[in-house]
Amino acid sequence: MFTYESIQAFPKSELHCHLDGSIRPKTLQDIAKMQQMSIEEDLHEIEAKMRASKTCRNLEEYLVCFDYVLPYLQTAEALTRAAFDVMEQAAQDGVVYLEIRFAPSLSMEKGLTVSQIIKAVATGIAQAETQYEIIGNMLICGMRNTSSVQVKEIFTKALASGETKIVGFDLAGPEADGFSLEFTEPLDLVAKSTKVHLTLHAGECGCTQNIHQAIARGAKRIGHGISLAQDLDSLDHTICIEGCPTSNIQTQAIASYEAYPVRQWLDRGISFCLNTDNRTVSGTTLTNEFYQIAKAHALTETQLRLIARQGIEHAFTSQKIKTEILEKMAQSSLERI
């Protein structure tokens, strides 16, 4: 078995990490006090409200935790602090490349514009890059519980911001069958761009057809994709699944780490990587995701390295950065007990 410490020290990339679901309770408390907003003094109480139950009945119940956090993320200063915090956590977790995703529409209650929100998050990322050996980029999310017109507006303004840290777009929130067909215009907008890519949450709730429709809309990566376990022969092998095991267990998509389809995907040559989804909401780290999956499936060093390598190979970043990180991975060891 691999040691937890060696996995933590191993250079990793993370492609599926939500900003609002990954802020540490102490940081959220600091953000609240910075804005003179009311918040519990007991960090355990804050953590309890930020963390999803291990026995959520479904995805919708899992997402309730975000309602507690979002009121505190309505100023530029709060967003910058939050982004720095998530980058700092990732760096301490051995992550050398991180794509943070967030929905600008959820931080506009006090008048911030899309451009201001993006700039604030980019500032936090840049601050962390000067202090830690980590590179960060951004994925802009449209919310599936809003209209196609609203999502297109967000995407249009994000593209117009000119922020170079934006490398991709996504649709997030509750997953309905056929959702990508309802957002044709904003997805076409991304597909026509030569500077950004598309990743879509799909197949998180057993909707396998959503995965195929997302790929047809231009998605290069699929968030979660857990329902693919039922339809292994139909996936384009150039597509990467952004796996989030702990989150999938909490939302009842799978029963356990042992039930995660690692073996099926490895045997069929399906590209996938491991991610936290939401560090705080799921009470996890990327090291923990690797450790639990390696233990549950008795993975070899070759298999663990393959999963790590697939993450950076499918990152929405330059080939130069990919090559540098792949070299770091090749030079790093993974000790076993």
Q: Hey, which residues are catalytic here?
A: 204
Q: Pick the closest to residue 89 from 14, 166, 139 (CA basis).
A: 14
Q: Where are the alpha helices (DSSP H) in 35-146?
A: 43-50, 59-63, 65-69, 76-92, 114-131
C-alpha to C-alpha distance for 333 and 171, rounded to whole angstroms: 36
Q: Give the number of C-alpha atoms closer than 13 A to the C-alpha of residue 30, restricted to the C-beta side.
A: 13
What are the percentages of helix, strand and coil residues in the chain, rounded to 5? 50, 15, 35
Q: Which residues does 254 contact at the CB level (< 8 Å), separation at least 6?
A: 226, 245, 248, 260
Which run of H or E residues covers position 308? Answer: helix 301-313
C-alpha to C-alpha distance for 310 and 188, rounded to whole angstroms: 26
C-alpha to C-alpha distance for 197 and 101, rounded to whole angstroms: 13
Alpha-carbon distance values, 67 to 22, 269, 281, 285 (Å): 13, 38, 12, 22
Which run of H or E residues covers position 326? Answer: helix 319-331
In this structure, which amino acid lies at residue 196?
A: V
Instruction: Give the strands of the sheet with 135-143, arranged side by side.
Output: 12-18, 95-102, 135-143, 166-172, 197-202, 221-224, 240-243, 271-274
C-alpha to C-alpha distance for 260 and 311, rounded to whole angstroms: 17
